Amino acid sequence: MKKSDLYWLAGLLEGEGSFSKLDSPGVRISMTDQDVVVRASKLMGNSKIYRRCANPLWQATWTTYVYGDRAIEIMKLIFPIMGERRSARIREILDWARARPRGRRVLNDDDVATIRLRYSDGQVSQRKLAKEYHVGQNTISKVVNHKGRCYA
C-alpha cells in the first residue's frame, strides 16, 4: 500500500471507522459516500460492500468490513498514525487477539447439554457462553436454538 493511501485510510478510520473484537478482530467503515467506501474496500483487500437503506426517505448507507488476520494487519499498519483514543482501542484489540485461543473448539455432547441448561435457566448470556467455550456467538445461538446439523 502506498504511503498516501495508508494515511488516507487511517484518516478515514479515525473519523468514520470502528474497531471490534466480537468473535475475531474487525475493522469497519459505514457511511453514505459510496465512492469513499469503495476506495476503502479496495485498500483493505477488496472486502465486500453492503448497501442498506432502512427508510426510503434516507440516503443509502454503504458498509465494508474485514475480520480476522486481515483486520489485524490493517490495525498494525495504521496504529502509529492514529489518535490517542483509536490507538488505545487498537492496542486493546491486538492484545486480546494475541491472548485468545487459536483454532476451532469442538463442542461435545456434554458441552451442548450444559450450554442449553445454563442458557435456558437465564444464568448466562450467549456472548458469555461463547467466550467461556472459545467459540463464536453464532455457534452458541445454533446450540440453544437446536439449529445446524450438529446441534439438533
pLDDT tens, position by position, for the chain (152 residues)?
Answer: 899 999 999 999 999 999 998 778 999 999 999 999 999 999 999 888 999 887 888 889 999 999 888 999 999 999 999 999 999 999 999 998 888 766 666 788 888 888 998 888 887 898 888 888 878 888 888 898 888 656 55
Find the domain containing 73 and state its range: 3-99
**Residues 82 and 136 both lie in one domain:** no
**Residues 65 and 22 both lie in one domain:** yes
Residue 64: per-residue pLDDT: 94
**Residues 119 and 61 both lie in one domain:** no
Residue 101: per-residue pLDDT: 65
**Residues 95 and 129 both lie in one domain:** no
Residue 68: per-residue pLDDT: 87
Which residue shows C-alpha cell 490507538?
87
The overall pTM is greater than 0.85: no
Q: In 118-142, which positions are buried (b, 16+ CB within 10 angstroms) versus exposed (e)?
A: bbeeeeeebeebbeebebbbebbbb
In a domain, 152, yes or no: no
